[in-house]
Structure 1
Amino acid sequence: MNTKLIMTLSAIFLLSAGISLTFFPDLILDYLNLNPNQIVVFLLQLLGALYFGFGMLNWMNKGRPIGGIYNRPVAIANLSHFMIAGLALLKGLTSNPELQFTIWVIGIIYILFGFAFGVIFFRHPLNAKS
């Protein structure tokens, strides 16, 4: 599996989510038809900072070997984040199928990244010469 591609794509996904949540929480809440109040906007901005930091972690580690014993903390952090959030999104989407299409797309992305990081975590990285 091409870990550099997975790390780059996840970094771009997380960085764009982090920037969006940090700078445009009001627009996101309006798009989701939710009531924007100060506490929710503040929490979305904090969540954006978390996503941005996690995206930077993935971006900085994209060229390093990952999997097996290499960069194990990065692999398990990504596996935990994407799998737990993906399963929560899957549960929410199956119980509320009328949710917006954007939420469905985000859920699918999370599940795909969760499986990809599961494979990365449990496999030894392939030797570059093989």
Structure 2
Amino acid sequence: MNTKILLAASAFLLGGLGLAASFFPEEILTMLGEPMAGTGPLLVQLLGALYLGFGMLNWMSKGVVMGGIYARPLVMGNLLHFFAGAMALLKQTQAGTPEAFWGLAVIYVLLAVLFGVTMFRHPLKEKASV
């Protein structure tokens, strides 16, 4: 598996979510039907900062050898984030929430599976060119 593509894809997803949450917290809360009073917008912006930081970590680490014992903390952090996020999103989709949650849930499940495979697979050696 090409972990460079996996990390770049997760970096773009997290970066996009982070930018949206950082710059449009009121719009996100309105879309979700939540009140904009109190600390709601602040919490959405903090979530955006978290996503931006995690996305940047993935982007800057995309050249690192991953799998087995290599880059285990990076793989484990991504696996935990995408697995727990997938479970929360799947639970929320059962409550009849907006359709956007279904698409995000599918992406999170896919990334959780791919990071799970990366976690327990030894990185493939490059084939020597003759």
Pairwise TM-score range, normalised by the shorter structure = over 0.9
1:22 equivalent in structure 2: 22
1:35, distance to aligned residue in structure 2 (A) = 1.4
1:89, distance to aligned residue in structure 2 (A) = 1.3
TM-score, normalised on structure 1? Answer: 0.93
CA distance in 2, matches of 1:91, 1:29: 19
SS of equivalent residue, structure 2 residue 39: helix
The amino acid that maps onto 1:122 is F
The amino acid that maps onto 1:17 is L
TM-score, normalised on structure 2? Answer: 0.93
The amino acid that maps onto 1:83 is F
Q: How does 1:53-64 map to 2 (within 5 A)?
A: 53-64=53-64
CA RMSD of aligned residues (A): 1.1
1:12, distance to aligned residue in structure 2 (A) = 0.3
The amino acid that maps onto 1:112 is L
Q: How does 1:92-107 map to 2 (within 5 A)?
A: 92-94=92-94, 96=95, 98-107=96-105
The structure 1 segments of at least 4 consecutive aligned residues displaced by more than 4 Å after TM superposition are none
Unaligned runs of 5+ in 1: none
Unaligned runs of 5+ in 2: none
CA distance in 2, matches of 1:25, 1:129: 47
Identity of aligned residues (%): 46
Aligned residues: 128
1:119 equivalent in structure 2: 117
SS of equivalent residue, structure 2 residue 77: helix
